[in-house]
Amino acid sequence: MIKYVSTRGSQDIKTAAQAVIQGISEDKGLYVPTDIPALPFKPEEMQGKTYQDMAAKVISSFFTDYTEEEMQACINGAYDSKFEEKEIAPIVKGGEAYFLELYHGKTAAFKDMALSILPYLLTTAMKKEKEEKKICILTATSGDTGKAALEGFADVAGTEIIVFYPNQGVSQVQERQMVTQEGANTHVFAINGNFDDAQTGVKKIFNDSNFAAELAAMNCKLSSANSINIGRLVPQVAYYVYTYVKFLEKGVLKSGEKMNVVVPTGNFGNILAAYYAREMGIPIGKLICASNENKVLTDFINTGCYDIRRDFYLTNSPSMDILISSNLERLLYHLSGGNAAEIKDLMESLDREKVYQVSDKIKSGLVDFYGGYATVAETAAVIGEMYQKNGYLMDTHTAVAYKVYEDYVGETGDKTPTVIAATASAYKFADSVASAIGLGEEKDGFAYVKALHEKTGVRVPAGLKGLEQKEIRHTGVLDIDQLQTAVKDCLK
């Protein structure tokens, strides 16, 4: 059975179900599998199988304490007609690259891929563990996780969901999606700060044992819907496995040949999932990590030094406006050979000094990664070029990835077939995308949605239609030091 341990080394050993409920370890570390399982099948055997078939097998091989029936029920509940494409994650060619479109779920961003299933994994875990407390999901969001978590958990029995997003740090469409959320158990707050402030605030609440005791007295327990929760991360591994199988099916690759993967990266969850797929045995060459102007990761991959003593930028790819990429901690743990003491030191150094330098051993493990970044102007330029040349519409995050892919190919000449994680619908960032393809000024984000649709004919995701007419239900704005009180008020 695969168990889950903390990256920071306390003797905290959990089953998958327990780790999903707990979210983050009490020692502040993240749960990682003791072993990354090998693929439970040969990729060529899976040709012709559905997304659901592959996801069930991949997730089950990490979550060995879930029975086959339990996992199948989770899969069936998650990956159904709420996805607007039957294939769940279609692969579409644009220029020389293949785009893995991960945004056809309810909230039009890739976060739906994992957050459609997380509520099922969590409620199943609660049954298995006979957990009778109400689970309160705390979520810091750079824009997309919040909405996807709200949709996933709205009116799920035994849960309450609270989302914190950076005031002025998300697009107008993203904000409206969240503040119009229905459901008796949903709570949404803007916070005066950026995503890192929100994430740090939420982590602080998780690590406050007095607060946990207070909540326990109210019969509540905290958990997380951020990618710090292993239940968010593991379902994401499935779509990289799926892509490889589709590449075999389409004849893009022959059995055993490698593909490269490009991921627009913020909290490092999505690209870590690709790394897990590779460790399972999927032939992946380079893992290309694309950042916007908040390029801590580009610098880290190139130098081994993680340094957040720098300016923070608000860009046109706001879901990646992040300096502290939480899931990198998991990669470092694996690359260090499971040296939790070393990881604890690094993370404490980041807390204290805002910088750390990894050992040569970890640094040598980074050779499989390539780091690059795109500026706001470069991002807009590639959206325009791609649309003009190929008629393919990219959102700003996907465009960051595409630009870094172009740079990578220019630098290395590497012709390996490449998949780019397309992480959001262009309509979520309609203002930036519309101006990138040469449309004029509109009065607000919703008018841009309309203009973009008229120009391109690309379908508007159902969840974004009529958004401007929906009732606004959440209006709270908090300072960073008010999060705890707000959580308590929501749970009263």
Ligand X SMILES: *Cc1c(COP(=O)(O)O)cnc(C)c1O
Q: Which is nearer to ligand X, 29 or 318 (CB)?
A: 318
Decide: 418 and 405 in contact? Cβ < 8 Å.
yes
Distance in Å, CB of 142 to ligand X, minimum = 6
Residues 222-281 that bind ligand X (CB under 6 A): 227, 264-270
**Residues linked to residue 364 through DSSP beta bridges, in sequence order:** none
Give the nearest distance from C-beta 225 to ligand X in angstroms. 12
Rounded to a whole number of angstroms, the minimum distance from the CB of residue 113 to ligand X is 10
d(CA 233, CA 334): 15
Q: How far is the CB of 4 from ligand X (least distance, A)?
A: 19
Shortest CB 276 distance to ligand X, Å: 13
For residues 434 and 396, is the Cβ–Cβ distance under 8 A? no
Least distance between ligand X and beta carbon 368 (Å) = 17
Q: How far is CA 22 from each of CA 6, 15, 324, rounded to the nearest angstrom?
A: 11, 10, 21
Among 112, 131, 144, 293, binds ligand X (CB under 6 A): 144
Cα–Cα–Cα angle for 490, 491, 492, nearest 5°?
100
Considering only 109, 149, 280, 282, the residue that binds ligand X (CB under 6 A) is: 109
Cβ closer to ligand X: 43 or 193? Answer: 193
Which of 129, 160, 127, 121 minimizes the C-alpha distance to 18?
129
Question: Between residues 144 and 197, which has the closer beta carbon with respect to ligand X?
Answer: 144
- The structure tokens listed for 346 are 């690094």
Query: Between 144 and 175, whose beta carbon lies closer to ligand X?
Result: 144
- Name residues contacting ligand X, limited to 425-484 (CB under 6 A): none
Q: Which is nearer to ligand X, 301 or 424 (CB)?
A: 424
Toward ligand X, which CB reaches closer, 222 or 420? 420
Among 185, 224, 243, 319, binds ligand X (CB under 6 A): 319
- Least separation in angstroms between CB 436 and ligand X: 15
DSSP string, 26-67: TTS--EEESSPPPPSS-GGGGTT--HHHHHHHHHHHH-TTS-
Shortest separation between residue 147's beta carbon and ligand X, angstroms: 9
Q: Which of 14, 106, 111, 295 binds ligand X (CB under 6 A)?
A: 111
Return the SS3 of 205: helix
Q: How far is the CB of 197 from ligand X (least distance, A)?
A: 16
* Beta-strand pair 134-140/369-373: unpaired
Distance CA 379, CA 401 (A): 9
- Taking the least distance from each CB to ligand X, the nearer of 126 and 296 is 296
Residues 6 or more apart in contact with residue 9 via CB below 8 angstroms: 27, 29, 340, 341, 343, 344
State the number of binding residues for ligand X (CB under 6 A).
Answer: 16
In this structure, how many other beta carbons lie within 10 angstroms of the beta carbon of residue 38?
10
Q: Which is nearer to ligand X, 323 or 490 (CB)?
A: 323
Using CA atoms, how far apart are residues 48 and 44, in angstroms rounded to an integer?
Answer: 9
Measuring CA to CA, which residue among 318, 32, 35 is closest to residue 166? 318
For ligand X, the binding residues in 381-400 under the rule CB under 6 A are 397
- CB atoms inside a 10 Å sphere around CB 466: 11
Q: Give the residue, chosen from 190, 287, 380, 424, that forms a contact with ligand X under the rule CB under 6 A.
A: 424
Nearer Cβ to ligand X (178/220): 178
Which residues make up the interface to ligand X (CB under 6 A)? 109, 111, 144, 227, 264-270, 319-320, 397, 423-424
